[in-house]
Amino acid sequence: MSTRVWIVGVGMTTFGIHHDKTHYDLAHWAIREALADAGASVDDVKVAFYGTTTHGVLEGQHSISGQIALRGMGIQRIPVHNVQNACATGSTALHLAVNNVRSGESDVALAVGVEKMNIGDQQRTLSVFHGGYDRSDLEGLVRDMVLLGGEVEDDDPGHRSIFMDVYAAMARHHMDIYGTTVAQIAEVASKNHDHAADNSRAHYRKPMSVDAVLGARRLSYPLTVPMCAPATDGAAAVVVCNDAGLRRLRARGTVQVLASSIGTGVDRDITAYDDYITSHVAQLAYERAGVGPSDVDVVEVHDATAFAEILQTELLGLFGPGDGGPAAERGDTRIGGRIPVNPSGGLESKGHPIGATGLGQVFELTDQLRGTAGSRQVSGARIALAENGGGFHRGEEAVMSVLILGGA
């Protein structure tokens, strides 16, 4: 019988711009919350996986971010592993923690994700995204974007990461194949801004109508600013344990990790959705969890843009090909709809502190499964799914994580 793994503690800072907080301040905030939630002390943690993608690039602290952060709050002697895996960094830290306690190597493990992205230099902050594609083949990246979305005249590029151009090309491709509309993409963004209005930890908490989303400053067609995730400061942490660890903690409530799957893509026709990385990794997760898409009650997906939510809900099997946009228009993905997606507000509104994003999703889903999400509570939530992708390589994400959780 497979060893059970439990999420027993979650912590998360507010996501936003924290001029008065250091990288380590944010990490300590999230870790202290997670430990308190787990009924654990620093001495209970036997191994830690510390995720960050920008600390080295923006502040020069390469290699040992985790050792410094954890020593600063009294977590000493234990193994500390630094994790970097693009936007899936936090999910990867959790995946490693889950496998560690499942194997019995440790009985209590800590996963942390943290970013301090707003350092007063916007161009430098945007430069961190250049590591998320093959730097040796920039021509190949441009060729793939043109293959997907055609060439677009853009006389007002504005300030944005290159990934907004990538997502825009993917969106145009989807629009050409399935008839997805700009209004449907705006509907997703409006829904997520509405959800975030009641999330006290979200970066943006202002509801937005579809018309307001469509009328906002454009970035790369068909995307406007409210359809895209901001550069965010923040941290999140999760404590996991096996049955042995659970017996010695004073956890308030447990959530079971039913499956955690991570994978990378294969060489394929990038204009087709066959064998897309998300579908492959999701199928592994469904099989391991013993559930299917129809069993899922609540979802957090990696909506770095509103279009990404449409695409990922289709690839996860929650909707059929081309039905993600119409489902958003029908209200299926709103709280109270058939399958609520991003009740937290998603990356567009909750924010996207890269290495913390995947663990921020887990924070939300743990609240949902515990029934403690307040006005954002999804009624009767028992099975939750988180999708968190990172980077871009040959027409799809370079890394994909799908996590399935079960409530009591």
Query: Does position 158 have pLDDT exceeding 90, yes or no?
Result: no
3-class secondary structure per residue, the chain: CCCCCEEEEEEECCCECCCCCCHHHHHHHHHHHHHHHHCCCHHHCCEEEEECCCHHHHHCCCCCHHHHHHHCCCCCCCCEEEECECECHHHHHHHHHHHHHHHCCCCEEEEEEEECCCCCCHHHHHHHHHHHCCHHHHHHHHHHHHHHHCCCCCCCCCCCCHHHHHHHHHHHHHHHHHCCCHHHHHHHHHHHHHHHCCCCCCCCCCCCCHHHHHHCCECCCCCEHHHECCECEEEEEEEEECHHHHHHCCCCCCEEEEEEEEECCCCCCCCCCCCCHHHHHHHHHHHHHCCCHHHCCEEECCCCEHHHHHHHHHHCCCCCCCCHHHHHHHCCCCCCCCCCECCCCHHHHHCECHHHHHHHHHHHHHHHHHCCCHHHCCCCCCEEEEEEEECCECCECCEEEEEEEECC
Q: Between residues 41 and 152, which one has the greater pLDDT?
A: 41
Residue 154 confidence (pLDDT) = 62
Residue 250 confidence (pLDDT) = 85
Nearest-angstrom CA–CA distance, 69 and 25: 9
**Residue of 23, 280, 352, 393 with catalytic role:** 352
Residue 145 confidence (pLDDT) = 92
Query: Does position 252 have pLDDT exceeding 90, yes or no?
Result: no
Nearest-angstrom CA–CA distance, 72 and 69: 5
Domains 6-120+232-257 and 130-228+258-406 share a fold: yes
Whether 81 is a known active-site residue: answer: no
Fold type of domain 130-228+258-406: Peroxisomal Thiolase; Chain A, domain 1 (3.40.47)
Residue 234 confidence (pLDDT) = 98
Confidence of residue 244 (pLDDT cuts 50, 70, 90): very high
Of 298, 279, 257, which is closest to residue 396 (Cα–Cα)?
A: 279
Whether the ω angle into residue 293 lies within 30 degrees of 0, i.e. cis, is: no
Mean pLDDT of 370-379: 97
Domain ranges of the chain: 6-120+232-257, 130-228+258-406
CATH code at 6-120+232-257: 3.40.47.10
Place of tokens 């889950």: 98
Token couple for 185: 């993409």
Q: Between residues 132 and 159, which one has the greater pLDDT?
A: 132
Place of tokens 């019995």: 104
pTM for the whole structure: 0.97
Beta-carbon contacts of 57 under 8 Å, excluding residues fewer than 6 positions away, are 127, 128, 131
Q: pLDDT > 70: what percent of the chain?
A: 98
Query: Does position 178 have pLDDT exceeding 80, yes or no?
Result: yes
Nearest-angstrom CA–CA distance, 105 and 46: 9
Task: Supply the mean pLDDT for the chain.
Answer: 95
Whether 55 is a known active-site residue: answer: no
pLDDT digits (tens, 9 = 90+) for 56-67: 999 999 999 999
User: For the ranges 36-50, 96-110, 147-161, 283-297, which has the lowest average pLDDT?
Assistant: 147-161
Query: Does position 47 have pLDDT exceeding 90, yes or no?
Result: yes
pLDDT digits (tens, 9 = 90+) for 312-346: 999 999 999 999 999 999 999 999 999 999 999 99
Residue 166 confidence (pLDDT) = 93
Cβ-based neighbour number of residue 76 at 10 Å: 11
**Residue of 18, 23, 55, 87 with catalytic role:** 87
Confidence of residue 159 (pLDDT cuts 50, 70, 90): low
Residue 320 confidence (pLDDT) = 98
Contact 378, 298 (CB under 8 A): yes
Residue 155 confidence (pLDDT) = 53
Residue 194 confidence (pLDDT) = 98
Residue 157 confidence (pLDDT) = 52
